[in-house]
Amino acid sequence: MNYSAKRINIKKLLTILAALFAIVVTVVAGSYVVVGELRKQLRQNLEDVANQNAVALYNRIHSNHLLLEGMSENMHGVTTETVEETLQSFAVFIDDYELKRFAFCFPDGTCYSTDGGVADLSFREFFKRGMEGKGTISGVLSDALEESHGLVNVMTIPIFDDNGNVEGVLGLTYNTQTFNDALQIDCFDGQGYSCAINEDGQIMVAMGSNILQLSKNIFSDVLGIDQRNQETISRLQKQMSENVSGGGQLFRSEGTYYYCTPVELMDGDVTWYMLTIIPADVFENRADPIQTSLYVMIAMVALFIIIGAALLIILSREQQMMMLRFAYEDHITKGDNYAKFCINMEKRKKRLGYLVAMDITNFGNINIAAGKNAGDALICDIWQMLVSGLQEDEFAAHVRDDIYIMFLLASDDDSLLERLKHISDRINRRAKQIQVKGIHARYGIYHMNESDELQDAYGKARMAREHAKIHKEQRYAFYDEIDHERIQQDEQLEERFEESLKAGDFEVWYQPKYSAASGEIVGSEALVRWRDKDGSMISPGRFIPLFEQNGMIAKLDEYMFRAVTRQQAKWKDEGRKIYPVSINLSRASLYYADVFERYQSILKESGIEPEYIQLEVTESAMEGKKDIRVLLEQFRNMGIQILMDDFGTGYSSLATLNMRCFDTIKLDKSLIDHIGDKNGETLLCYIIDMGHQLELHITAEGVENPKQLEFLKQNKCDDIQGFLFARPMPFDQFEKLLAE
């Protein structure tokens, strides 16, 4: 080979070597860039997961803080004689909110609880802070109100008198294990874990790892095991003192990464810090295969390097998608969660459309009737219904439990409502398939403008959704249609309730019942009326639905029961002729655990015989309560007759009759109004005949004309109630009627 040829070959070799060197340098440099970006993305995802955990913690505690705040009005002026009765009115919320108890501490430290415990808790820090006028959430404590001294967390708020002085401390108690179980959030496919700590480093909540125990301190017991963590501890303490978020690296048996973010609770009275930790292996194990593949490709031909680069891009995208799923995927539906919904809305250039807050009425009935798995399955089914109907530039997310959010586009309100009706129809059909009663979708709608912030808009949609509870037929409400003045009036009625109850502003009115055959009085129904300070009457249609919604109706039921039994006893002692009086028992009263014992005690206290007292229960009030038959049988065994009110308004009235726990059915006015119509009269004939065959007494409500009376007499209806005979009347008029 001549010199020139050798020079050419050397040039080619050098060119190839230079090209390979350039490829190697490019690939190596590119590998560091790619891995660096991957690490950056993983750290960002770590921050997102920490923030998501912080939101879950805040939502959990905030809902219970709102519950305590709502109950605080009931505690003003409470005494040792009234505290137990007042606390028992809160017991209905214990199961709903997964609590252990409610308790109230007087200024001397004496504490009364809903489970009957009494103890001196003046030594507890939460009591001391409460007496200083501050709300708080305790760390893990040994339960001082039970012999087993299990582990609990306590949330408290101070109760102020009219002069601004603390007159006691109201609190609720979590079972520590239950509290932690409710906040278990999967973190990086089970490889990461989180905890909430206070300013002293005490672990308040531990999520996802047995390494972190509630008895430990994150500074001394966890991070302090390696001297290299001293700088980390100092940085964390400084970060917490400045109330800012941040992350870094710490050392245990293996390297780990962390991110810490503050969570302000109880309106800023308490600050915890959400600390999310993942092992360095999560980073390294995902980066090393990429680097290894790149180094192997360096030793191969350029083609393999190109193929390897392509594989690198694919792997990087898969890793990124997996991290995004951790942060933005709902764990039940496997679809978008609320965080992803927010991101989708941020990316959207135009926000003109409808924001819809949706939940499912009586969803808890599914868990009662069919179990949690059936509930989760329905959540997934509803999610598929929602996403299958989404159009371009529309979004949806499962927020939590039975709550969803949607951003929908429609030309006008009617078009939107048509879409929502289609969703509701599909949900109703699915509920019937699993044979669970009362399942309906409810919607709150806010028409967003370009300038609206998402959180503000969502708050307005939620407000509309809550307002939709009063729309029993349409089950939706637009925010712009909410009667804000009426809401303010409702709040004023709620504030006046306790005062009016004590002042006796609620009056018992009576509507007599008459024998259809003889026309003689045979009994009456007790109806509540509210007399305002100026002597005018507040319509029952105004306050009864409100009190049914907020649970105050249970106190009003008991008030009426006590008033009627006392009046019956007084009339009897005076030697007057008395007749049975029926009293309404609402859904909220049925859900009190000791409702039978309370009413039994009131009846014994009055001295009136049970045969002169009756209870009216609607079918709708029985939905979702599995042991209703047992409860009603307790009353019947005591001698109190049970009346099924509004018969004919529920779709399963006949099935309810089969429970055989009623003595009388009261035919609803909507059935009586059909007298004169052939089909309506035929139906009434069959109902009356069927009732008699079941040995039931039949009372017709809303009888207003002689034609209706004559028909009912011919068909052997037992009792008549309605304007044809008498309207509801105050006590003094009814007393005169009895004397005639």
Q: Distance (Å, rounded) from C-alpha 508 to C-alpha 504? A: 10
The pTM of the full predicted model, rounded to 2 decimals, is 0.45
Per-residue confidence (pLDDT) for residue 284, from 0 to 100: 65
Q: Which of 447, 482, 517 is the last residue of a domain?
A: 482
* Residue 311 structure tokens: 């594989």
Residue 190 has pLDDT above 80, yes or no: no
Q: Which of 482, 500, 518 is the last residue of a domain?
A: 482
Most confident of the following: 438-447, 647-656, 697-706 = 697-706
Confidence grade of residue 652 (pLDDT, cut at 50, 70, 90): very low
Q: Give 357's DSSP letter.
A: E
Per-residue confidence (pLDDT) for residue 4, from 0 to 100: 44
Residue 73 has pLDDT above 60, yes or no: yes
Q: What dihedral angle (degrees, nearest 10) is formed by the CA atoms of 334, 336, 338, 343?
A: 150
Per-residue confidence (pLDDT) for residue 481, from 0 to 100: 76
Residues 391 and 318 placed together within one structural domain of the fold? no
Residue 294 has pLDDT above 70, yes or no: no
- C-alpha distance from residue 336 to each of 183, 390, 408, 444, 490 (Å): 19, 13, 15, 20, 37
β strands within 161-212, DSSP E: 166-175, 193-197, 203-207
Lowest mean pLDDT among 133-137, 317-321, 338-342, 690-694: 317-321
User: What average pLDDT does range 685-708 have in this prediction?
Assistant: 93
- DSSP letter string over 645-711? EEETSSTTHHHHHTT---SEEEE-HHHHTTTTSHHHHHHHHHHHHHHHHTT-EEEE----SHHHHHH
Residues 439 and 537 placed together within one structural domain of the fold? no
pLDDT, tens digit (0-9, with 9 covering 90-100), for 301-326: 566 656 755 666 676 677 666 666 67
CATH of the domain at 255: 3.30.450.20
- DSSP letter string over 263-282? EEEGGGTEEEEEEEEEEHHH
H helix or E strand, kind and range, residue 355: strand 353-361
Residues 420 and 500 placed together within one structural domain of the fold? no
Lowest mean pLDDT among 363-372, 660-669, 695-704, 723-732: 363-372
Q: Distance (Å, rounded) from C-alpha 489 to C-alpha 484? A: 9
pLDDT, tens digit (0-9, with 9 covering 90-100), for 515-540: 999 999 999 999 999 998 888 999 88
Lowest mean pLDDT among 175-184, 253-262, 537-546, 641-650: 175-184
pLDDT, tens digit (0-9, with 9 covering 90-100), for 318-370: 766 666 667 788 889 999 999 899 989 888 877 789 999 999 887 776 766 66
Contact 274, 58 (CB under 8 A): no
Q: What is the separation, in whole angstroms, between the first and last Cα of the chain?
A: 141
Rama region for 197: left / alpha / beta (φ>0; ψ in -120 to 50; rest): beta
Answer whether residue 458 is part of any domain.
yes
Residue 6 has pLDDT above 60, yes or no: no
Q: Give 730's DSSP letter.
A: -
Residue 620 has pLDDT above 80, yes or no: no
Answer whether residue 156 is part of any domain.
yes
Most confident of the following: 162-171, 310-319, 484-493 = 162-171
Per-residue confidence (pLDDT) for residue 602, from 0 to 100: 95
Confidence grade of residue 561 (pLDDT, cut at 50, 70, 90): very high
Residue 419 has pLDDT above 80, yes or no: yes
Residue 1 has pLDDT above 70, yes or no: no
Answer whether residue 399 is part of any domain.
yes
Answer whether residue 154 is part of any domain.
yes
Residue 448 has pLDDT above 80, yes or no: yes
Residue 254 has pLDDT above 70, yes or no: no
User: What average pLDDT does range 620-630 have in this prediction?
Assistant: 69
User: What average pLDDT does range 178-206 have in this prediction?
Assistant: 76
Contact 103, 83 (CB under 8 A): no
Confidence grade of residue 700 (pLDDT, cut at 50, 70, 90): very high
Confidence grade of residue 3 (pLDDT, cut at 50, 70, 90): very low
Q: Distance (Å, rounded) from C-alpha 20 to C-alpha 302? A: 8
Residues 571 and 464 placed together within one structural domain of the fold? no
H helix or E strand, kind and range, residue 81: none
Contact 551, 92 (CB under 8 A): yes
Residues 465 and 444 placed together within one structural domain of the fold? yes
Residues 492 and 478 placed together within one structural domain of the fold? no
Answer whether residue 12 is part of any domain.
no
User: What average pLDDT does range 698-723 have in this prediction?
Assistant: 94
80: three-class secondary structure by DSSP: coil
Beta strands at 141-142 and 151-160: parallel, antiparallel or unpaired = antiparallel
Residue 156 has pLDDT above 90, yes or no: yes
Residues 491 and 476 placed together within one structural domain of the fold? no
Residues 270 and 387 placed together within one structural domain of the fold? no
Residues 155 and 125 placed together within one structural domain of the fold? yes
Lowest mean pLDDT among 202-216, 288-302, 676-690: 288-302
User: What average pLDDT does range 387-411 have in this prediction?
Assistant: 92
Residues 302 and 405 placed together within one structural domain of the fold? no
Answer whether residue 31 is part of any domain.
no
Q: Which of 326, 354, 382 is the last residue of a domain?
A: 326
Lowest mean pLDDT among 410-424, 428-442, 558-572: 428-442
Residues 594 and 612 placed together within one structural domain of the fold? yes
Domain that holds residue 233: 42-326
User: What average pLDDT does range 454-481 have in this prediction?
Assistant: 81
Residues 618 and 491 placed together within one structural domain of the fold? yes
CATH of the domain at 424: 3.30.70.270
> How many domains is the chain built from?
3
CATH of the domain at 491: 3.20.20.450
Answer whether residue 8 is part of any domain.
no
Most confident of the following: 286-295, 356-365, 453-462, 474-483 = 453-462
Per-residue confidence (pLDDT) for residue 111, from 0 to 100: 94
Question: Is pLDDT larger for residue 681 or for residue 12?
Answer: 681
Q: Distance (Å, rounded) from C-alpha 702 to C-alpha 727? A: 10
Per-residue confidence (pLDDT) for residue 211, from 0 to 100: 61
Answer whether residue 320 is part of any domain.
yes
